[in-house]
Amino acid sequence: MYDIAVIGAGINGSCITHELTNAGKRVILFDADGIASGGSGAAGAFISPKFSKSGELKDILHDAFLYSLDFYEKNFPHLLTKSPLLHIAKDEVDDVILRVYKKKTDLELLDAPQLEREAISINAGIVNAKPMCEALSKSATLKQEEVVSLEYDDGVWIINESYSAKEVVLATGAYKTLLNEHYIKLRGVWGHRIDVKTTTNNPHSIHQFVSISPSKEGELAIGATHNVHYHPQTATEEYNIEAGREELLEKASRSIHLENIEVTKDYMGLRSGSFDYMPLVGPLVMSHETLQNKNIHFQTKKPDFSAYTYYPNLTMINGSGGYGFVLAPYLAKILAAFILGDKEISKRIHPARFFARWAKKL
């Protein structure tokens, strides 16, 4: 018997595993292909805020950026490379956004070079993706197998008819959630990253059309969450790696001139985002049982999440999109506080917001 089973060993699953094992919980971690085998392993793992004028996503990413950069530096400094981040506007609209951002932000701004487009520079960092997930998960029991059955029986969750846990955390990314709940809205976005040898020295991270890492021993990484149409579970053809490489290199060339290029390695995987772009963190509503409650008025602008019926001892951490390594430590802290201390989760990231919208349409 385990205290908690975490299903999915990407950055979200690894971070919540770290929080729970540090709290003394006995955790079993499941992943069909191993730690960081999907989108997290393919991520550039840049730690940066969202450069926009305003909005809930900008606010949460600002807080997550500050928290996560400090978290990685304190706990895993050997897996974090701190470097200046140079964010360059893509077009005239982005020019305006960056000018507004500069005026309103409380982040320390660095001197940015004079470019054709507006640019902003801050202190930021990059995480070594797969080793970071492995380090976060090291205190858990890892089971490299696909979870195909999840049943709640007499106060205990039974996984694959073989393992038992008092609680379950779903961190399954854009793949199956294991629950037949139609209100859970997630979308898969294909990510591709390449390691490149080049004689060009790049001293900082560059974000524009793609993300480009600083040079290290003659190599740098180029990556993007750039294909919203390809999904490995539904595609009729294999992903075109050569075309993906060409697209990444072409977009990178708009930001920096790279000489003597040799692609040494490809990383690919599916990243999970939500349809309102905010992450999903917290307990999951049992839709059938909740809809039977005649005391709930679903046609309301201010739904009462506390009136819903939830799956017992089951939560989710998901939907981080291309900001997984920024959001995960911050969201894991929030989810752990809920699991361990029943601390309330904000409605803006609570999965029940999707149930409320879905039920209202019904």
Query: Residue 137 domain-assigned?
Result: yes
In this structure, the answer to whether residues 280 and 350 fall within a common structural domain is: yes
- Residue 219's CATH number: 3.30.70
Contacts of 146 by beta carbon, 8 Å cutoff, 6+ apart = 30, 32
Q: Quote the DSSP letter at residue 78.
A: G
Residues of the chain with pLDDT under 70: 226-229
- pLDDT at residue 177, rounded to an integer: 76
Query: What tokens appear for 9 in the block?
Result: 């060993």
Q: Which of 208, 188, 212, 191 is nearest to 200 (CA)?
A: 212
Q: For residue 95, is it within any domain? A: no
The model carries a pTM of: 0.94
272 close to 173: Cβ distance less than 8 angstroms = yes
The partner residues of 269 in beta bridges, in order of sequence, read 191
Domain assignment present for residue 69? The answer is: no
Q: Number of folded domains in the chain?
A: 2
Residues 350-359 pLDDT 10s: 999 999 999 9
Amino acid letter, residue 297: H
Q: Is 29 part of any domain?
A: yes
Are 243 and 282 within one domain? no
Tens digit of each residue's pLDDT (9 = 90 or more) over 258-291: 999 999 999 998 889 998 999 999 999 999 999 9
Same domain for 288 and 352? yes
